[in-house]
Structure 1
Amino acid sequence: MDRTRCAGAAVDRAGGPRRPDRRSRTRIRRAVSLPGRLPPGIVEAVETMRAIGIDVGSYRLSLYGLFSTLVVGVLLYIAVRVVMRAIKWLLRRNPQIDATQRLLTEKLIAIALFVFALLLGIDLLGIDLTALAVFSGAAGLAVGFGLQKTVGNLIAGIILLMDRSIKPGDIIVVGDGSAMGGPPLPGGMPNVGRVAKIGVRAVNVITRDGRKHLIPNELLMTQAVENWSYASPEVRVRMRVPVAYESDLRRAQRIIVETAKANPRILTEPEPVVWITAFGERAIEHELRFWITDPESGLGNVQGEVFLDIWDRFQEEGITIPYPRRDVRLVPGDEPEG
């Protein structure tokens, strides 16, 4: 009786019996509910899967735990995908949000949802992270080195979307064009491409020849990027046109400008201009400069049209375009011995 009273007094002084913690309640609930609600075969299978495993410190790594982790992970992944589809549908229906802001919002919400799903999965599975403290240092170091570039590209992509320096649909040139399929094309035309998509890791750029290039986001932050669509879609094009010394230069210049103005893709304001740039060995070098508003439609095609029209007009007006030629003169002398 005395011991019972002392125990009762101790319980009363503590404010009642101590309630089991959350993990203990979960184990008690499983122990009570599983045998009464599940068929005997499933209960035996669960117990067998729990028996197969290894102990890592105070944590039991069993086959049942791996199966539960897989099921919870798949369900959470499906839930995140469904929620993301609903959010994308809502964002696309809002006309006040442009494509860049929508893409940035989708990526930030996706990151937040995946982090929340990860924490929720750890809580549902009852994983004790302190049991993994032995491996956390080495694993964290390995993951840090392995994901260094990935995290850098992710942050660079978010920065690109926030400052809106590069947007889907922009026409860009990265560095010298080597990241987009090679150096500048013949004739001095840069290898340009249209930004199709800004992803988590890379930017999808489609060049004029139909090739798709995945340029890492970090590369766009560290290299010089020429964005033809950043401030204005207007781009100036330069063309070299040689004229023979024997030709009427003023008439040739007038023909060059008139030919450029006749092209529908070339702007009339500012109007095309032509300048003498050098007195070459065989010709007087001219440079035609004009503006276009649709560089995504190509530069080589508009240059080819202007060159062909200039050639036709020069043929009609009798203006010649010099070309390299070699004169061979035979000096009279002794005949070769034969």
Structure 2
Amino acid sequence: MDRIKIGIIGCGKISGIYMENCRKFAVLDLVACADLDLNRAREQAAAYGIPRACSTEELLADPEIELVINLTIPAVHADVSLQALRAGKHVYVEKPLAVSLAEGQRVLEEARTRGLLVGCAPETFFGAGIQTALKLIEDGAIGRPVSATAFMMSRGHEHWHPDPEFYYAPGGGPMFDMGPYYLTALVQLLGPVARIAGITGKALPERVITSEKKRGSVIPVAVPTHVAGTLQFEGGAIASLITSFDIFGGSSLPPIEIHGTEGSLLVPDPNTFGGPVKYRRTGDEDWTEQPLLPGYEGNSRGIGPADMACALLRGRPHRASGELAYHVLEAMWAFHESSDSGRYYEMASRCERPKALPAGLPLYTLD
């Protein structure tokens, strides 16, 4: 099988699972990794059998590398993606696509100008959980979808993350951290968003780190930490969404529910790849758990770049596209813009719903 040579820029906490999984997909050949801290790049290269650890400049100068996975912090996502595109590389970037709409537009325009592809996390909607929910909706199990609820209720990251500061800096907050998972899943299940009404707030002006290494350090909170609102989709469905770092006593709210004219659907946590998936049709006494479609139930980060590599080889669209990521980025900003203006935000972008994964393919093989 043909393979696409790839390199990873950014060897922080999330890089390990990408490096592990990139070795499982036959279409990917991970040949180099880079980081501002060269020692960290060397450690990851040794741990995951990557042939070369180097600087970002050296990686981008390598003519054999066709696709770059950008795992840097959100504040520099756009800058690093633009560097890679200008070096003639296709780019797959960790979410979000960028921290501003202007930056996101620049990334997509640069790629179009150069005839290159941009892909973006999250790829969790490739998982068996969301794919099973999608098939139930497409098969009419709950009738026509008319409404949805989605909740990401958290106390924030300062109690466990070793370097939590960026979660409370511009480009951070619960919407930009976790919103991509929920919004991408909703777009996969319900289609593109038409308009949004939002309201935002902040429970605390500062956060105290209680994780090790930086225990006792104080973080100024520069972004809203509770973001709530309503979305109307082009197909007419209406959804309520809350993302929060201000839930200090826990929550029992479900991640996502989809309600249709003939029943309801419980969708699993969109930050995971597995289940369970349950549905209840009008008149049923209880929920029925739907067996998951054969596919990706464990942490399969890396499937997005693999699908992108297959798209390059087959000449077909890739699923976790830059257009999808930009639509989600605009939707995240829409909650904040609507809150600030006190008005609905009418979406300017649109995207196609990603196609379902083909049935019956062996794991780590994408058509």
Instruction: Report the TM range for the smaller structure's normalisation.
Output: under 0.3
Q: Whose Rg is larger?
A: 1
* Structure with greater helix percent: 1
**Which has the higher relative contact order, 1 or 2, with Cα contacts under 8 A spaced 6 or more apart?**
2
- Name the TM-score, length of structure 2 as normaliser: 0.19
